[in-house]
Amino acid sequence: FCAKHAMKKNSNKFIQLTEVVSSGLTRTRNSPQLTNLQSRTITINTDKIQYVFPDSSGYTVLQMRRENIKVEENYDDVLQKLNIEVPY
């Protein structure tokens, strides 16, 4: 589901989220594991968000033009902050 299509006209221009930042990547035999996860508060211009989707680890990913940003907030909370209604 592309969350951008359901955005209301009077949505806020900026939202605050908690970005998950990894300070390193450790490889094990089976898969890479993120280590030393840190977080920081960020402010994002909602006009720059291309796509929003949940991540298998419980985080939410915001796809921007040039990068993806992983945030601690769950998918439904991010949609609420973006003022998006999901038709279920």
Cα–Cα distances (Å) from 60 to 30, 68, 75, in that order, read 24, 10, 5
pTM above 0.85, yes or no: no
Higher pLDDT, 25 or 38: 38
Take residue 12 and report the two structure tokens written for it: 């806020």
Q: What mean pLDDT comes out for the span 42-69?
A: 94
Q: Is the pLDDT of residue 2 over 70?
A: no
| Partners of residue 69 on adjacent β-strands | 62
pLDDT band with cut points at 50, 70 and 90 for residue 86: confident
> What is the longest distance spanned by two Cα atoms in the chain?
49
